[in-house]
Structure 1
Amino acid sequence: MKRFIKIVLSISFIFYLLALVVLLFLGTRGYVWTDLTLTEYIKRSSNFVPLKTISTYIKAIFSGSMNMDIPIKNLVGNFIMFLPMGIYLPYFIKRINKVSVFSIAIIILLFVIEVIQLVTKRGSFDIDDFILNMFGALIGFGIWKVKVVQKLLK
């Protein structure tokens, strides 16, 4: 049974990584500033102010000033997108078994992803995406640390 679970988790991790690559780098992101220099692109498509985007979306939800799909997909999607990583990383990399080590690993991973999106002009650097992704990953890590899950997956 343990071997079966390991095979299922390995296959699902590969599909998860492929889905992340498509969502983060290959999908249409709506940015039409590809003719800008990299510096101009970074200025126009980056948000370094924490909670700016999140508060805009929350206000839009309550005021109805925006199509509800946009804030819900962005807030919930960014939160859920890295939740599985909180389970996969400590499962496959045994050294990532403490919240501090996990947090450092996820911060580095998210930072690299955000920078790649900027440099390739396939997305933006949004600190709020970073925050939501981080919280999602930490919730996933919390799920990983539950004794029932540990017993099932180890």
Structure 2
Amino acid sequence: MLKKFYKIIIIPYTLFLLYLMFLGMGRFQYEDNLLRIKPIISTIDFIKDTISLKVILIIVLGNIVMFIPFGFLGWIFPRFKDLKTLIFAFIPAITIVETLQYFTRMGIFEVDDILMNTFGVFLGFLIKGIIEKRFVSWIV
């Protein structure tokens, strides 16, 4: 049951996520192409420079939580049942999206986004494993 629901929802979810990454949440086209390539430091700087805890949670946790569903891709594509294969396929895909944000200036290419998004996929993969062990009859 969960696999069938996942198969139905993952494509619209992916399209919604792409919308958010390029057009949603008050996005606008930057005048310059922006690039943040210092891992972890740019996120720490963002947290230090942001007064609102709500904004910090939305951006930082959102970059992780929104990608958890991609940890379940093994339910649709058998080759992604292996974590290493899933991560090595995801990193180039999210890097392409970040690069498109850079070239369209509809976002900022951020290495930290790649790291946080990938961590979200990793968490999703772990959650998928827990669900598969505990709720075997619901998965079909």
TM over 0.5: yes
Structure 1 CA distance, aligned partners of 2:41 and 2:80?
31
SS in structure 1 of the partner of residue 108 of structure 2: coil
Query: Segments of 4+ in structure 1 off by > 3 A?
Result: 57-60, 149-152
Structure 2 CA distance, aligned partners of 1:48 and 1:102?
23
Q: Is the 8 A contact 2:35 2:110 kept in 1?
A: yes
User: Compared with structure 1, are the counterparts of its residues 8 and 93 closer, same or farther at alpha carbon in structure 2 (3 Å cutoff)?
Assistant: same
Equivalent residue letter for 2:67: F
1:134 matched to 2:118: yes
Who is 1:52 aligned against?
Answer: 41
**Higher relative contact order (Cα pairs below 8 Å, separated by 6+ residues):** 2
Who is 2:20 aligned against?
Answer: 23
Q: Is the 8 A contact 2:71 2:124 kept in 1?
A: yes
CA deviation string 1:113-154 (max 9, x = no partner):
111111222111011111111111100011112222565324
Structure 2 CA distance, aligned partners of 1:17 and 1:32?
24
Who is 1:32 aligned against?
Answer: 30
Q: 1:12 aligns with which of 9, 18, 26?
A: 9
Q: Is the 8 A contact 1:143 1:149 kept in 2?
A: no
Structure with higher strand content? 2
Q: Is the 8 A contact 1:144 1:150 kept in 2?
A: no
Structure 1 CA distance, aligned partners of 2:8 and 2:96?
24
1:103 matched to 2:87: yes
User: Which of the two has higher C-alpha Rg?
Assistant: 1
- In the alignment, structure 1 segments of 5+ residues that lack a partner are 34-40
Normalized against structure 1, the TM-score is what? 0.78
Q: CA RMSD in A?
A: 2.0
Who is 1:37 aligned against?
Answer: none
What percentage of aligned pairs have identical amino acids? Answer: 28
SS in structure 2 of the partner of residue 66 of structure 1: coil
1:80 matched to 2:80: no
Q: CA deviation at 1:26?
A: 2.2
Q: Is the 8 A contact 1:117 1:124 kept in 2?
A: yes
Normalized against structure 2, the TM-score is what? 0.85
- In the alignment, structure 2 segments of 5+ residues that lack a partner are none
SS in structure 2 of the partner of residue 125 of structure 1: strand
